Amino acid sequence: MLARAIALSLALLVGIGAIVPLATDSVEAGPKNKRKKRQAKKYKKYSKKWWRQYRANQRKKAAQRKRARALRLRQLRLERAAGIGQTPVAKPATLKTSKTKAVVPGGKSAPDIWSQAQASPSELRFRVDDSAGSQVGTASISVVGPAVGETSTQSQRKAVGGVATTSLRREVINKMIQENGWVVNDYQKEIGGRTVYVVEAQSQAKNGQLQSRMYYFAEVDGRIYSVATNSSIDQAERLAAESEKVLDSLPNRVRAAERASVNNR
């Protein structure tokens, strides 16, 4: 029995002695025997396999960029939560700016509901709003042309600044033909001491709503001015009243000089 036990012990020692070096060599040789990094296969350029490989690479790069953005966004959120990298910035002082009032020729203020929209050397355009700030119409002031002569008492019903009212009416008719409108009436009235020729017209908007079109022609400082408005029918009277105020505010230095000469006599 003793001899058998000794023999088994010796056999175990011999076996362990043989196994340990083999295992050690296998472990040490492991990194040297690693599989080489797989290299991408090269295909003929623009072949089907080349395009398949190209698209796969693009998807891989896009995924990497997406992960990088997500990581950066996460870092920013963590910094924001921890208050890192942020310094308090003073808010700029809010300056209260008053709305610039539109002016009419001569430098006087336009009606409160008129705000300037566009301007050119020969025309001023305005947006007309109601008390709530909603647009209810448009207005414009333009120079039709120079007066060609004084309007005498006998001819004042047929001309404005020497220009025949039929010519001014024809101008409105031509404009209405272009804008799918029509002339309703024309007449003359006195506004602010000057004779004004008025042409009433109507047109149809794109939504089918009927629009009121008013045209006022008056001689001011040797030129013939036109004040035109466009609004819905229910706002026509209001815009007409504002237009007459604008006409009354236009300066007439020629008329003032005439009055001064008469007073001196």
For residue range 92-149, list pLDDT tens digits in order: 544 444 455 677 776 677 777 788 777 776 788 888 888 777 888 888 888 888 888 6
- Residue 71 CA to residue 200 CA, distance in Å, equals 69
Residue range 241-262: mean pLDDT, rounded: 65
> In the predicted model, is pLDDT for residue 185 greater than 80?
yes
- Which string of b and e fits 51-77 if b means at least 16 CB within 10 Å? eeeeeeeeeeeeeeeeeeeeeeeeeee
Return the sign of the alpha-carbon dihedral for residues 145, 146, 148, 154.
positive
Going from the C-alpha of 84 to that of each of 74, 75, 162, the distances in angstroms are: 13, 10, 79
Residue-level pLDDT at 47: 87
More confident residue, 78 or 26: 78
- The answer to whether the CB of 125 falls within 8 A of the CB of 118 is yes
> In the predicted model, is pLDDT for residue 163 greater than 60?
yes
Q: What is the pTM of this model?
A: 0.55
Spell out the domains of the chain, with CATH numbers in brackets. Answer: 114-256 (3.40.1000.10)
> In the predicted model, is pLDDT for residue 188 greater than 70?
yes
The one-letter amino acid at 226: S
- Residue 239 CA to residue 215 CA, distance in Å, equals 11
For residue range 192-224, list pLDDT tens digits in order: 888 899 999 999 888 888 999 999 999 988 888
Lowest-confidence region among 47-61, 114-128, 183-197? 114-128
The partner residues of 213 in beta bridges, in order of sequence, read: 201, 230
